[in-house]
Amino acid sequence: MESSLIENKKVRYEWLDAVKAFAMVLVIFGHLGLNSITTYQSYASFIKLPLFFVASGFVFNPKKTKDTLLFLKSRIQRILLPYFYLCFVICVLNLILYRQDVATWLKDSLRSVFTGTIYMWFLPVLFLCNVMMFFVFRLIKGKNVPIIISAVLSLILGYVLIPEKPIPFSVNEVLIAYPFCIIGYYLKTTVLKWNNKILIALGSISLLLFSVLPLIYKHFNGRMNYINMKENHYSLFCFDILISLCGVIGIFLLVRYLKIPKPVSWFGQNTI
């Protein structure tokens, strides 16, 4: 009974809040137009959304909620409702600012909301990733090898299904984001149990690779590579995913050793 209570107790990691705050700042900077800076665009594109997916996997606890309805209710309240509230505000502002006729406005708004072509489009993707993890873990019963295989197969299928036009709720991106959630789940075990020296070395090597690999791509192709999950753009899919993994793993393993200012933790705590 005592061990069960410990398993279900919610633990707050201030450094994880800092990671989410950092990811949110990257997203905000992108909407402010800083994506026009080529070097920034390249490096930020590899980590700003994957960090959210890895963070979601990190806090995922398959033993905490076994009731399907309760799990879905909590994820709808935490992820989907803020998305639809934001969509409603943006759509109303569009109606006021652009003065469309109501029929055209309603049609454009519904298309934007359900095809994920609106701000914070990744929230439905995050919701579906959570649901996917919940049912995969329930079906496989937490066995490590099948879970890892499910992540690999999901990544392959996500690549095969990259569409030319947006599809509802960016479902193909769920398949690409799901492996990052799985990485986050296993990083939790890694971060809590491995020796600090090993973690620092692994984090440093990961960030070094994250820094160097885009430059190698630029050397051979004459331009920086980048990803845009919203528009299903990948310069070189497997290479891009490797860069993203190096970036998020390096950040997760090293940020926990930094002294995090309280305002940063507060900001991250109040994101998704």
User: Residue 8 has what pLDDT?
Assistant: 47
Would you state the structure tokens that stand for residue 33, as one six-digit string?
């137009």
DSSP bridge partners of 228: 233
User: Residue 204 has what pLDDT?
Assistant: 94
Cα maximum dimension of the chain: 62
38-47 helix and 50-59 helix, angle to the nearest 10 degrees: 20
User: Residue 163 has what pLDDT?
Assistant: 64
- Rounded to two decimals, what is the model's pTM? 0.85
Rounded Cα distance between 269 and 272, Å, is: 8
Beta strands in the chain (DSSP E): 227-228, 233-234
Terminal Cα-to-Cα distance of the chain (whole angstroms): 31
User: Residue 2 has what pLDDT?
Assistant: 38
User: Residue 7 has what pLDDT?
Assistant: 43
Q: What are phi and psi of 168, to 5 degrees?
A: -50, 130
Per-10-residue mean pLDDT, the chain, length 272: 43 82 80 65 90 92 83 89 83 75 75 67 88 91 88 90 64 88 90 85 95 94 87 89 95 85 71 67
User: Residue 1 has what pLDDT?
Assistant: 39
Q: What is the DSSP string of 91-105?
A: HHHHHHHH---HHHH
